[in-house]
Every structure is written in C-alpha cells, then in structure tokens.
Amino acid sequence: IDTSIHTSRIVSTSQLLQRLVGMPVQRNKAVVGANAFAHESGIHQHGMLRHRGTYEIMRPQEVGWVCSHMVLGRHSGRAAVEQRLRALGYLLEEEDLKLVFEEFKQLCEKQRLVTDVDLQVLMQDTTVQHGYRLASMTISDVGNQANALVELSNPQGQRVAETAQGNGPVDALFGALAAATGVKLELDSYQV
C-alpha cells in the first residue's frame, strides 16, 4: 500500500506545526521530541555503541533527524564519555581518561547534563597545567549599560582584575576577559 507519506519529513513538519501553533512538543515525545533518539543511561549507551538496533527500532534519518546522539549525564559510563571525546578530536591515554572521567562524574553531581563545551572545558582543566583561571566574576546590567568585573590568576599565579562596560552582560564579560588576558575573544555560540 502506497500512502504517499514522506516519513523523512515528519520531524520538520512537527517543528513547523510547533511554530505555527506556538505549542512546543515535549522533549520526551516519541519520534519527534528532542530526546527521541537521545540515549543517557549507561547501559543504553553501551548497547548503542555496540549495536544501534538494540535500542532504536528505526533510523533517525527515516523520520527527519540527522542522527541519534548520546546525552552525557550521571548515568553515562566511561565508554560513552571516551567515544564523545574522540568525536571531539581528543585521543586519551588510559591514565588521562581515568582522570577526565573522575572530573566528569564530579561535574555530573552539579549539573544534570554535560555538553560538548563542558567536555572541552574539562579537557582544558585536566590537561592544561598553565593557563588563566577564573577566581571571581561580577556582572551588573542596569538600564542600557552592563558592567563586568573579572579576577583571574594568570599563568604565573598572579591575580589580575579588570572591568569593562558593554552592550549587554555577555559583551561586558568578554571585554573584561580580553582586558585581563590580552587575548581577543570571539563568541562561537550563545544560547539562553
């Protein structure tokens, strides 16, 4: 039976409907929810790494998703973390992986999900010995002007404090960090 249904357009059609109606789809909604092809549990991630068909009865591409993805969190195991780090371009020796995984678990106690950016920061914190460290930061945003104060420890261990004004809190923070480090910073992405 030919239904003329283009299943590869299910997700994009659902997203269009969300925008038109103004009602978001729940993240855990089957097939079209943001977590439909996301795997957080350690046993699920392990199964996915070995054989995708274990937990996915259809390929994400068949309904319009680009791919399935691992959601890293407190239930994630070392294999899932190592796989994500490899995808980000990090190849670790066993000792380094052990250290990064311990830091990962500590981070999971503070926040529910761990993003790629979080992993990159973990890699920098655990593998880079001499760099700037943020000691404190204060941001105020009153009226049309935002102010930021950052205090850093420089690579020599000295405290450096700088302030900056900006067009919003993120701009002010970047200005203060650039003044403190002497490095021109560029924002890759920003999400609320």
Domain ranges of the chain: 7-70, 74-127, 133-181
Q: What is the pLDDT of residue 87?
A: 76
The yes or no reply on domain 133-181 and CATH 3.30.160 is yes
At residue 53, φ and ψ (nearest 5 deg) are: -65, -15
How many CB atoms sit inside 10 A of residue 126's CB? 16
Q: Determine the residue type at 156.
A: Q
Contact 176, 150 (CB under 8 A): yes
Query: What is the model's pLDDT at position 165?
Result: 94
Tokens found for residue 181: 């480090």
| Cβ atoms of residues 165 and 147 within 8 Å | yes
Q: Could you tell me the mean pLDDT of each successive run of 10 residues in the chain, 192 residues long? A: 81 79 77 67 57 64 65 81 81 86 89 81 68 87 91 85 92 92 79 66
Helix boundaries (H) for 22-168? 42-50, 78-87, 94-110, 116-127
Q: What is the pTM of this model?
A: 0.41
Q: Which fold has domain 7-70?
A: H-NS DNA Binding Protein (4.10.430)
Residue 179: CB atoms within 10 A of its CB come to 16
CA atoms in the 13 A half-sphere facing the CB of 191:
4
Pair 165, 172: CB distance under 8 Å: yes
Q: Is 67 exposed, middle or buried (0-12, 13-18, 19+ CB in 10 A)?
A: exposed
Q: What is the pLDDT of residue 25?
A: 78
| Rounded distance between C-alpha atoms, residue 57 and residue 177, angstroms | 48
Specify the amino acid at residue 123: M
